Amino acid sequence: MKILIYEDSKWVNLTPLSLLKCVFELRCGFFSVFEKMLAILPGAEKGLWVRDYLKELAKKKYGISVNDESFFDDDILLINGRWIMTDEEKIFLEEEKTVKSGKDIIYALLKKETASNLWHGNFEEFLQSVSSNIYEQQKEAILIEYPWHFIRHNPKILTSDFKHAGKQGIKGDFSSKATIVGDEKDVFISEKTRVHPFVVIDTQTGPVYIDEGAQVFPFTRIEGPCYIGKNTDIMPGANIREGCSFGEVCKIGGEVEESIFHSYTNKYHDGFIGHSYIGEFVNLGALTTNSDLKNDYSNVSVYLNGKPVDTGELKVGSFIGDHTKTSIGTLLNTGTVVGIMGNITAENILPKYFPSFMWYVNGKFMKGYGLEMMLATAKSVMARRKRQLMPEEESVIRYVYEMTAFERKESIQKSRKQKQ
């Protein structure tokens, strides 16, 4: 049997976070969805099915089969890449079936003959045939459909990940003048980690896991559940509220609540970020702050795929794509979406939607200094963190630049009309 982890057509609902990444590369809890799957799934041969423009990049990153039609010539376990698996969940492999949450496939087990008969060269049509023709069971599961679902489920997944990591105690350098409030069994501080004096770690609302090489500087307070990734720095005086995940090599200051920072991202200075997902290689200027609650306490709407979507949530912050930068004093509205490789300069409260590769200056959208300079800046930023922009990554960025051109054109035209 082979295992195929796939993206379906709902990847578009996770933009801009998914523009440069497969949906299963996004983070919830300690890990990306893909990392969690690899830890839980049986040791069979694994492959991926992704958007065509991500195929070569996925091959480069993972070194496994990508969009390989030969997988349909064998018994196959299909796994939806939007499924956040937990260690408690089991996949039963006794019979051919599809397991669904509502109309969405969570996973499907197909015999060789069935898979071969249903495959006709189009993956979305294949999934529709699987959904229509194979015995079905319903199951409760966490299937991510929109960006705010990562934030909704993150506290639960953090607690689950801590439990199944099976680690507790202090292995690193923990100052005698730092304090744990709550059960010390709900703290794990890895080797090569340093917690400075006058740090408070509060486990009364959940566990705290500080991974290898991280530093927590003085006068910082951290509430659980929380995960601080490898080589991430929590800057002096930070206030880390409950429900936060920080990937590797981030610098985090100010106040953060119920948010996910993917990795290699800077929020070095003061300012509030709440109920938000911040992508990779993002830089938030000093005092960048988002609203996550409307004054009338009504549901927050988020602009996706050209229209507003009611989140059904009281608190929703910002969703910021990879390689975007904000200036000092930037104020982001409730439910703001910012595309990839943007550049925002502060001017009062800003619009709720920023297309990718755009500058926003003096109250209007602009092309900025062009794609080539954006790529040069990205390479410089990555080099500071000892990363290189791979040719496959650059090809993906160039593709997405062309794919999103219509949005930029429309936004610039609207800005010009408003200024007339």
Residues 259 and 374 in one domain: yes
Residue 157 lies in a domain: no
Write out pLDDT tens, residues 132-188.
999 999 999 999 999 999 999 999 999 999 999 999 999 999 999 999 999 999 999
Do residues 209 and 230 make contact, with C-beta atoms less than 8 angstroms apart? no
Above 70 in pLDDT, residue 7?
A: yes
Report the number of distinct structural domains present in the chain.
2
Amino acid 345: pLDDT: 87
Judge whether residue 27 has pLDDT over 60.
Answer: yes
Residue 346 has pLDDT above 90, yes or no: no
Same domain, 233 and 137: no
What is the maximal distance between C-alpha atoms in the chain? 67
Confidence at residue 87, expressed as pLDDT on a 0 to 100 scale:
73
Alpha carbon of 250 to those of 152, 154, 199, 246: distances in Å?
A: 22, 18, 18, 7
Average pLDDT over residues 103-114: 95
Band the pLDDT of 349: cuts 50, 70, 90.
confident
Residues 360 and 226 in one domain: yes
Of 94, 113, 145, the position where a domain reaches its end is: 145
Residue 47 forms part of a structural domain? yes
| pLDDT above 90 as % of the chain | 87
Residue 152 is assigned to a structural domain of this protein: no
Note whether residue 98 is domain-resident: yes
Model confidence pLDDT, tens digit, residues 42-92:
788 999 999 999 999 999 999 999 999 999 999 999 999 999 988 777 787
Quick one: the chain helix, strand, coil %, rounded to 5?
25, 30, 45
Q: pTM of the entire structure?
A: 0.95
Residues of the domain holding 279:
163-419
Domain boundary among 145, 172, 202: 145
Which two tokens mark 268? 């070095």
Identify the pLDDT of residue 44: 86
Apex CA 52: angle with CA 49 and CA 57, to 5°?
80
What pLDDT score was predicted for residue 40?
Answer: 84
Q: Which CATH number belongs to the domain containing residue 190 in this structure?
A: 2.160.10.10
Task: Pick the closest to residue 259 from 232, 280, 241 (CA basis).
Answer: 241
- Indicate whether 70 and 217 sit together in one domain: no
Range 89-115 average pLDDT: 90
Is the pLDDT reported for residue 348 higher than 80?
A: no
Question: Is the same domain home to 234 and 316?
Answer: yes
The answer to whether 182 and 200 have CB atoms below 8 angstroms apart is no
Whether the bond into 16 is cis, omega within 30 of 0: yes
Pairwise CA distance, residues 368 & 318, whole Å:
22
pLDDT at residue 113, as a whole number = 95
pLDDT at 282 over 90: yes
Strand 27-28 and strand 97-101: the pairing is: unpaired
For the segment 193-211, what is each residue's pLDDT rounded down to a tens digit? 999 999 999 999 999 999 9
Written as one letter, the residue type at 165 is A
What would the DSSP string read from start to end of 52-77? GGGHHHHHHHH-SEES-GGGGGS-EE
Looking at the fold, whether 229 and 367 belong to one and the same domain comes out as yes
The enclosing domain of 122 has a CATH number of 3.90.550.30
User: Is the pLDDT confidence value at 123 over 90?
Assistant: yes
Name which residue leads in pLDDT, 90 or 260: 260
| Beta strand spans in 87-229 (E) | 97-101, 104-110, 136-138, 169-170, 173-174, 179-181, 187-189, 194-195, 200-202, 208-210, 215-216, 221-223, 226-228
| Residue with the larger pLDDT of the pair 289 and 90 | 289
What value does the mean pLDDT of the chain take?
94
In a domain, 179, yes or no: yes
Q: Residue 420 — very low, low, confident or very high, per pLDDT cuts 50/70/90?
A: low
370: left (phi over 0), alpha (psi -120 to 50) or beta: left
Question: Do the beta carbons of residue 55 and residue 96 sit within 8 Å?
Answer: no
Together in a domain, 59 and 31: yes
In eight-state DSSP terms, residue 13 is G
Distance CA 93, CA 84 (A): 19
Together in a domain, 378 and 238: yes
Amino acid at 386: K
**In the predicted structure, residue 419 carries a pLDDT above the cut 70:** no
Q: Does 171 share its domain with 87?
A: no
Q: Are 360 and 376 in contact (CB under 8 A)?
A: no
**Is 227 part of a structural domain of the chain?**
yes
**Domain closes at, from 145, 171, 197:** 145
Same domain, 204 and 114: no
Residue 155 falls within a domain, yes or no?
Answer: no
Asked if the structure places residue 158 within a domain, the reply is: no
User: Are residues 130 and 186 part of one domain?
Assistant: no
Q: What band does 263 get if pLDDT is binned at 50, 70 and 90?
A: very high
Q: What's the average model confidence in pLDDT over 337-359?
A: 90
Highest mean pLDDT among 42-46, 277-281, 404-408: 277-281
Determine contact, residues 163/182, Cβ cutoff 8 Å: no
Does residue 362 sit in the same domain as residue 253? yes
Single-letter code of the amino acid located at 240: I
- Which residues are registered as beta bridge partners of 260? 245, 277
Cα dihedral value 6, 279, 87, 156, nearest 10: -130
Of residues 141, 19, 150, the one with CA closest to residue 79? 141
pLDDT tens digit sequence for 213-247: 999 999 999 999 999 999 999 999 999 999 999 99
